[in-house]
Amino acid sequence: MTIEVTVRRPRVFSGVQPSGTLHLGNYLGALRRWVELQDEKENYFCIVDMHAITMRQDPIELRRSTREVAALYLACGLDPQRSTIFVQSQVRAHAEGCWILNCVTPLGWLERMTQFKTKAKHRESVVLGLLDYPVLQAADILLYDAEEVPVGEDQKQHIELTRNIAQRFNHRFGDTFTLPQAVIPASGARIRALNDPMKKMSKSEAHVRGHAVQLLDTPDVIRAVIRRAVTDSGREIQFSDAQEKAGVNNLLEIYELLTAQRRDVIEEHFAGKGYGMLKKDLAEVVVEALRPIRKHYDALIADSAELDSILAAGADRARAVAEPKIEEIKRKVGFIVPQDTT
Ligand code: AQP
């Protein structure tokens, strides 16, 4: 007698907000790593439009940006046959899961979130959704029983919170959720703003001149933005954790990630050369890395019907996992689930 054992590949969930054009930080901290995982893991990559509306969005622009992010996912190498690619608002279980998790999450946990504090600062009025953002994120991840969440460093605190919410729910209602791990890369976890290395490169600031290289920037724009990148008054081109070297270190990390060269080889290559040479070489490396993405993107975005149908198929696949899970959650908290007799 032979016994067949099916081993489930580790599940991965991650997402990007369609809140602007993606930048090099999103690519190096998230997308590029997702592409590398495609064959070893079972992947769910979401375009989190419900998260995007926690900040004011123009409706027409949001729809455009959602398709743009979808096309960029594909252009960067995500394959809809191997990864489930979908839009969050097309799978209702995310909103339902968020509500139920809201009812086990203490308010104090959310008020402590650094991202909330930063975004709420200096605003006259803050919408409730902004405070609730991490609970929706917890629902996103927990609905798929994802073991791994590949993200940049900025999301570490939110993933910790997801684990705390899951533990609290499991404790109260019995074992329901897998506890996810944030998977944060050693290099590229926090690509810094080119105009201010003390800040992270961020979509919400990408409109500020010189802040970011956007994935759809032309070669000339890329060269100009990198040429203007803030460094320091020194000359040494070496990897360093020192705060005053954050600008140069950022440029070197981008170079390292895109060329896959060892740090000592890179330092040797730039020994005795000035920052101008580093910027010039880096600009060409970035231009060449983004060229095929931009070309592929142009072809994909031209056919929005095809894109929408890829997303609809992705949502069907996501629902096949999320719907049984939300029913399990509803049963646990005491809701009557149609067709249940207990
Ligand atoms: N600078 C970054 N370096 C490395 N990874 C980054 N990520 C974001 N910025 C960097 C990672 O990209 C994924 C998508 O995150 P997001 O949609 O929140 O992107 P964003 O640029 O952070 O977007 P916003 O709208 O501008 O948000 P805020 O204002 O919060 O920065 C995540 O995996 C993220 O870690």
Please report the pLDDT score of residue 342 as a whole number. Answer: 62
Atom of ligand 1 nearest to the CA of 52: 25
* Listed residue (71, 75, 84, 72) closest to 45, CA to CA: 84
Distance 90 CA to ligand 1 centre (A): 22
119 belongs to the catalytic site: yes
Distance 42 CA to ligand 1 centre (A): 22
Q: How many residues does the chain have?
A: 342
Please list, in sequence order, all residues whose beta carbon lies within 8 angstroms of the beta carbon of residue 314, skipping any fewer than 6 positions away. 80, 84, 85, 86, 87
Q: Which of 41, 121, 199, 200 is catalytic?
A: 200
* pLDDT tens over the chain, length 342 residues: 666 666 788 999 999 999 988 999 999 999 999 999 899 999 999 999 999 999 999 999 999 999 999 999 999 999 999 999 999 999 999 999 999 999 999 999 999 999 999 999 988 899 999 999 999 999 999 999 999 999 989 999 999 999 999 999 999 999 999 999 999 988 888 999 999 999 999 998 888 999 999 999 999 999 999 999 999 988 899 999 999 999 999 999 999 999 999 999 999 999 999 999 999 999 999 999 999 999 999 999 999 999 999 999 999 999 999 999 999 999 999 999 987 766
Angle between helices 128-142 and 156-173 (to 10 degrees): 70
200 belongs to the catalytic site: yes
Distance 26 CA to ligand 1 centre (A): 6
Which H/E stretch holds residue 229? none
Distance 172 CA to ligand 1 centre (A): 33
E-strand stretches of the chain:
11-16, 42-47, 83-87, 148-150, 181-183
* Listed residue (161, 143, 167) closest to 94, CA to CA: 143
Ligand 1, CB within 6 Å, residue ranges: 14, 16-17, 19, 25-26, 29-30, 115, 151-152, 154-155, 189-191, 200-204
| Angle made by CA atoms 19, 296, 261, in degrees to the nearest 5 | 85
Cα distances (Å, whole numbers) of residue 208 to 192, 195, 202 = 14, 9, 10
Q: Which of 119, 156, 199, 330 is catalytic?
A: 119
295 φ, ψ to 5°? -65, -45
For residue 115 the two structure tokens come to 């991202």
Q: Using CA atoms, how far apart are residues 85 and 91, in angstroms rounded to an integer?
A: 12
Question: Which residue among 154, 181, 204 is best mutated to probe the pocket of ligand 1, counting the most ligand atoms within 8 A of its Cβ?
Answer: 154
Question: Which residue among 12, 17, 140 is best mutated to probe the pocket of ligand 1, counting the most ligand atoms within 8 A of its Cβ?
Answer: 17
Atom of ligand 1 nearest to the CA of 23: 21
Please report the pLDDT score of residue 207 as a whole number. Answer: 84
For residue 15 the two structure tokens come to 């997402």
Please report the pLDDT score of residue 1 as a whole number. Answer: 63
Closest-CA residue, ligand 1 atom 2, reads: 25
Please state the pTM of the whole predicted model: 0.93
CB atoms within 10 A of CB 338: 5
Which H/E stretch holds residue 178? none
Please report the pLDDT score of residue 341 as a whole number. Answer: 64
Distance 45 CA to ligand 1 centre (A): 15
Closest-CA residue, ligand 1 atom 12, reads: 26
* Listed residue (305, 315, 254) closest to 281, CA to CA: 254
156 belongs to the catalytic site: no
